[in-house]
Amino acid sequence: MNTKVMYGSTVARHIRTDLEGTVLKLKEKEITPKLTVIIIGDNPASETYVRMKKKAAEKIGIQSTILELPSDTTEQYLLSIIQDLNQDLSTHGILVQLPLPDHINEKKVLDAVSPDKDVDGFHPINVGRLSISQEAFYPCTPLGIMKLLDFYGVQMKRKHVVVIGRSNIVGKPIGQMLLNEDATVTYCHSKTEDLFEYTKQADILIVAVGKAHLITKEAVKKGAVVVDVGNTFLDSGKVVGDVVFDNLLGHASHITPVPKGVGPMTITMLLYNTIEAAKRLG
Ligand SMILES: Nc1nc2c(c(=O)[nH]1)N[C@@H](CN(C=O)c1ccc(C(=O)N[C@@H](CCC(=O)O)C(=O)O)cc1)CN2
């Protein structure tokens, strides 16, 4: 079987070119989309992702600010910053980079971001809207996966999708988005017994665990579509996914690589959501 490699980097380039045009049109109406990213502490991976977000935003004309706060920032102070940004008319998108330090309550922080500026799609109002298929800000990684599957012509309707991972950022919302497209969805997670009995039944397998090399071809039905959301940094500095990519070549019908697969789509969907917020808020 000739496996089709689904490059998010390629799809992202196409979408970002379109978005750049949309930003120019907004600027003609004197609207400059603005994204503010808040990062707390010094997690090296988070610092990398935040830098990538700023660079990608500025490349297409979105104004971008990073607020770097020390790891001992209090929850109260962080909440006050978010309140200020909610009120600031020039800010369209607010994003708090995760994970947060242990002393800060993630739920409280995400609830504090105005749902109208919640370009991450993590506010309960946006989560609820997704669950009833309403217009909302959808979380960037699952939205990016949907665009990627669509670009490569992967049919979702009536397919059996197995999602490994039940995080609020990826696992739960990607299952809901696929359900909204009439797929049949099975969720697996750390307490699932006989995991591979499920994965072997998948027409589309989404792996979002963060465990390097979890999935080899023995766990995958021949001809399945495999989407790897893993991003684990090895001591060598190399980034790897949850799937043994080379092992699946010739076995899967489609597969995403790591890097250059889902990751670039995550950042592209953040740009998309920020522009949507600017259109709505003006
Ligand atoms: N507030 C948020 N926090 C986090 C999110 C999120 O969507 N919102 N997701 C992840 C991290 N993440 C974005 O923040 C992210 C992860 C990976 C990539 C990416 O492009 N990875 C590259 C490889 C890494 C590299 O090149 O250095 C790839 O896969 O090609 C982008 C964004 C957790 N936190």
Domain 29-114 in CATH 3.40.50.10860? The answer is: yes
88 in Cβ contact with 117 (< 8 Å): no
Say if CB 6 and CB 148 are below 8 A apart.
yes
pLDDT of residue 214: 97
pLDDT of residue 31: 98
CATH class for the region spanning 139-263? alpha beta
Residue 153: what pLDDT? 98
Global ipTM: 0.97
Q: Are 1 and 223 in contact (CB under 8 A)?
A: yes
Distance between Cα 164 and ligand 1 center (Å): 18
pLDDT the model gives residue 53: 98
Annotated catalytic residues are 53, 97, 120
Residue 210 confidence (pLDDT): 96
221 φ, ψ (degrees, to nearest 5): -70, 140
Asked whether the domain spanning 139-263 has the same topology as the one spanning 29-114, the reply is yes
For ligand 1, the distance from its centroid to the CA atom of residue 12, given in whole angstroms, is: 14
Nearest ligand 1 atom to the CA of 9 is 30
| Integer Cα distance of 115 and 79 in angstroms | 15
Question: Where are the chain's structural domains?
Answer: 29-114, 139-263
Q: What is the pLDDT of residue 212?
A: 97
Ligand 1: lining residues by beta carbon, under 6 Å? 48-49, 52, 95-98, 120, 140-141, 169, 231, 239, 258-261, 263-264, 266-267
Reduced DSSP (H G I as helix, E B as strand, rest coil) percent helix, strand, coil of the chain, to 5: 40, 15, 40
* Ranges of residues in the chain whose predicted pLDDT is under 50: none
Q: Which residue's CA is the closest to the ligand 1 atom numbered 18?
A: 263
Q: Which pLDDT score is estimated for 36? A: 98
Atom 10 of ligand 1: nearest residue by CA position: 98
Q: In angstroms, what is the span from residue 167 Cα to ligand 1's centroid?
A: 14
Q: Give the predicted TM-score (pTM) of the model.
A: 0.97
pLDDT digits (tens, 9 = 90+) for 231-252: 999 999 999 999 999 999 999 9
